[in-house]
Amino acid sequence: MKTKYLYIAAGLALGSICFSCNDFLDREPLSNITPEGFLVEESQLAAYAIQRYGVIPTHAIGGTIPARDNRSDNQTLNTADSRYTPGQWRVPQSDNGRNDGDWSFTNIFECNYFLSTVLPRYEEGSLSGNADNIKHYIGEVYFLRAFNYFTKLMHLGDYPIVETVMPDEMETLRAASIRAPHNEVARFILADLDRAIEMMKEVSPDGNRNRLSKMCAQIFKSRVALYEGTWLKNFKGTAFVPGGPDWPGAAKDYNAGFQYQSGSIDNEINWFLDQAIASAAIVADATPLTPNNKGIQQSTTDPVNEYFNMFGDIDLKNYGEVLLWRKYDRGLGIVNNLAVDSGKSSVALTRGLIESFLMANGLPIYAAGSGYHGDDYIADVRRDRDSRLQIFIKEPGQINILYPSPDGTHATPVEPVPDILNLGGNTHYFTGYALRKGLSYDAALCASMQGYTASIVFRGAEAYLNYIEAYYERHGSLDGKAEGYWKAIRERAGVDTDFNKTIAATDMAKEAAGDWGAYTAGKLVDATLYNIRRERRNEFMGEGMRDADLRRWRAMDQMITTPFHIEGFKLWGPMSEWYADISNLLTYGIGDASTVSDPALGQYLRVHQKTTTSLAYNGYRWAMAHYWSPISISHFLIASENSDVASSPIYQNPGWPAEANGTPVY
């Protein structure tokens, strides 16, 4: 009975206003399809909650976490994402598979159904089982609703707040589709997280941190609060904040008289940043950083580097920094392809990311006395640098497999010369710089589509960095706690802990050449804030954090007028000799048959300038509208009267037209 219910629940969308009235009327009433007696005891609550964990990004066959930043200034694919080629990203008629523009309420409905059903039973004391565990599983669902809402907040901004299961009445559904200002959505998320913090245990019930815990809700609260606080601060004075000039929500009567709960946008910014500071400190103070011996194992007798292994291990329960992780099991068919992808390099890193890493002495590579060895060879790039660069980028000749296995059918035992032509068919060495983070030395994990490398969801280093950034954004200075966290991160990275030395040596014009995070609203930020952002960029390389950071920093405005060219390694230098035996395949200037960029464009490989037909041949560009996704026209029509878009309670996001196939107006 329980299994049957879970399959049904996974397909329900009764809480979604995305369906027509007929869709609702064609469905059986919920009371008819929900087995009576379900969600009445502890194990059922636990099973229902864990089934909802699928919304949390983890490694998968079709896409591992390191690949999530491929559309940023950190990483790239062979073709440019449409967000960087204005005119190519258009308003869809219906949701088109881009999960960043998904309006669906399905996952939110599932959480609402649970809470609507279970909370009355919890309050009357009719649920059976361990009371503390029951309370914990309710807290998990509050967390999961918050997680779903944060995904909507990041990609869509203003969004309807729906806390109950909606009846199948179109007028009720239409009324519920009104978009709440995104600061109120963020407050709603934090309120759910506060409930989760109150109800969840300090240690997850499984004891291995494969389920959520109180600390997970606290670190996530700091993430949400930092996101909203910096978004409001950086977009203040634009249509992207509630009440701002040309805010589209102002056109709807239900937003008449909008005011910030704290009294003003500045007070609201400070409130969110204070929330981030307080939550981050709780986690950072309680969470140790995993040690880093700064080395890469090249034999079984070399010392183990726990920090390196943390990203490629199969069991993370003994890593104190990891607050939540997903376990995989080949025998159960719960698998991913991370070990294979990391061996063949599924992530191509940019020159901008590589050059952002400091020297071990704390100086930027261009600073006098830095000791930078140049970039004629990847070995030179790695020497005497921040250890995160040394251990996490690949160099030809490195040993990738220390423990052979007959299962390792797709292992890459020794790192090859970067396959910039993608001759292997499924490698991503497009830039010449490749990510090593997530690599496993055990070939047993390298059976195609049969790997079981664990996936990190939350780790304590984020709390350190959230606190540093939130405190500086709030106060314009750093307190002793922030300084201590920053020094701890740099010490673990093998970088001189005197961050003031780095700040003094920072040339923002030079940093801006390869780092979008040097900007907010098209202007360079101060050197201290930039170095806080640099630290975050370097620590979370390949962990899927970059896209959200760039958008909340408003770090792409400069590309509205000034194109940006993604570059890789210095192909047209000594490294070109690596390809001497296939030099006839390094072709350029011959139209669509070109395989690499013309050296006349520069010594560095330009991924999107191989052929003039590339949509990004003239560089990445930006449109303000691209900070959020457009809302599909079908949603306007479904929630409207007589299929009239103008009568819909939904409004389009800033810069996007309310017409199918429309392109941004700004």
Written as one letter, the residue type at 114 is: F
Percent share of the chain, pLDDT over 70: 93
451 strand-pairing partners: 336
- Residue pLDDT, tens place only, 96-140: 655 567 888 999 999 999 999 999 999 999 999 999 999 999 999
Q: Most distant CA pair in the chain: distance in Å?
A: 77
Owner of token pair 């979604």: 16
Q: Residue 428's pLDDT is what?
A: 81
Residue extents of the structural domains in the chain: 2-38+92-286
List, in sequence order, the alpha helices (H) in 357-409: 378-382, 387-392
Q: Residue 604's pLDDT is what?
A: 98
Lowest-pLDDT range, 125-129, 353-357, 641-645?
A: 641-645
- What average pLDDT does the chain have? 92
pLDDT at 72 over 90: yes
> Which residues 6+ apart lie within 8 Å of 611 measured at CB?
591, 592, 594, 617
Distance of CA 547 to the CA centre of its chain: 6
Q: Which 3 state secondary structure label does DSSP give 77? A: coil
- Residue pLDDT, tens place only, 380-436: 999 999 999 999 999 999 999 999 999 999 999 999 999 998 755 567 899 999 999
Q: String of b and e for 401-439 (b: at least 16 CB within 10 Å)?
A: bbeeeebbebbbeebbebbbbeeeeebbbbbbbbbbbbb
Asked whether 290 and 418 are in contact (CB, 8 A), the reply is: no
pLDDT band at 465 (very low <50, low <70, confident <90, very high): very high
Q: From residue 188, give the alpha-carbon distance in Å to each of 33, 104, 160, 421, 612.
A: 30, 18, 11, 48, 48
**Mean pLDDT (whole number) for 505-511:** 98
Q: From residue 403, give the alpha-carbon distance in Å to each of 159, 392, 393.
A: 50, 20, 21
pLDDT at 36 over 80: no
Dihedral-angle region of residue 593 (phi above 0 means left; psi in -120 to 50 means alpha; beta otherwise): alpha
pLDDT at 13 over 50: no
pLDDT at 318 over 90: yes
Percent share of the chain, pLDDT over 90: 85
Question: Considering just the CA atoms, what is the radius of gyration of the chain in Å?
Answer: 25
First to last CA, the chain: 53
pLDDT at 597 over 80: yes
Q: Residue 18's pLDDT is what?
A: 33
pLDDT at 505 over 60: yes
> Degrees (nearest 5) of the Cα angle 102, 213, 48?
55
C-alpha span between 67 and 543 (Å, rounded):
8
C-alpha span between 633 and 143 (Å, rounded):
30
